[in-house]
Structure 1
Amino acid sequence: MLDVSTKQSRAKFYSSSEWKILRQQRLELDHYECLWCKNEGKLTTQYDSILEVDHIKELEDYPELALDIDNLRTLCKDCHNKRHKRFNYRPSEKKKRWDDEWW
């Protein structure tokens, strides 16, 4: 079984070619869109934010699912931070080109 118990072992996992290939496949399957934003009717792509591939069932708790593509999803950086309740979470304040237009 995959050892991801230490920061060093997780870094080794995330730098592996096997992970990088699987990560790319997940991004393609999700059309390079944040799935949480999409569920809220908002489109967030690689052009709007940094996209990250999230383990649905945590890597540390379910190492056997580390390379299971069905346990992965694409999230933008803001949603990924929200998901993990990171204290420095601040939604990006970047305005979109037409935010000030009224139609």
Structure 2
Amino acid sequence: MKDYAKKFYKSTAWRKCRASYFAYRHGLCERCTGPGKIVHHKKYITLENIDDPIITLSFSNLELLCQDCHNREHHERNSPVVEGVMFDSNGDLIQVGGN
């Protein structure tokens, strides 16, 4: 998590929004229908938009994801594909096979 976002993610507004969105989506991942875990911002939070509630607190910018789908969103889509590299259930980089 970026330093500038820590205060936002600890805020009462975010915690209430997250809980409400989680209930709204019945706790299911919107991509695979498995158990949801992370309320993800479709348009990523940046230093420039963190004070914009349309970005940070609007249901239209949120998506409930399981850990695997969230990892794919952030790692597979936004990172170069490297053979022999995978992510564990916490989203941490692990080496598979190789050296």
**Same fold by TM-score greater than 0.5:** yes
TM-score by length of structure 1 reads: 0.65
> Residue 85 of structure 1 aligns to a residue in which SS?
helix
**Separation in 1, partners of 2:49, 2:31:** 22
Alignment of 1:40-55 (within 5 A): 44-45=34-35, 51-55=37-41
Residue number in structure 2 paired with 1:70: 60
Q: State the secondary structure of the residue aligned to 2:31.
A: helix
Aligned to 2:11: 16
Return the offset for 1:7: 2.5
**Cα drift, residue 8 of structure 1:** 2.4
Q: Any runs of at least 4 consecutive aligned residues in structure 1 with deviations exceeding 3 A, and if so which? A: none
**Unmatched 5+ stretches in structure 2:** 77-84, 91-99
How high is the sequence identity, in percent, across the aligned residues? Answer: 29
Match of 1:85 in 2: 75
Cα distance in 2 between the residues matched to 1:82 and 1:34: 13
Shift of 1:88: 4.8
Over aligned residue pairs, what C-alpha RMSD do you find?
2.5
* Pair 1:37-2:32 in alignment: yes
Is this contact kept in 2: 1:82–1:89, CA < 8 A? no
TM-score normalised by length of structure 2:
0.67
Q: Which runs of 5+ in 1 are unaligned?
A: 1-5, 39-43, 93-103
The one-letter amino acid paired with 1:14 is Y
User: Aligned AA for 2:10?
Assistant: S
Q: Deviations over 1:25-58 (max 9, x none)?
A: 11011100001103xxxxx125xxxx00000111
**What number of residue pairs does the alignment pair up?**
78
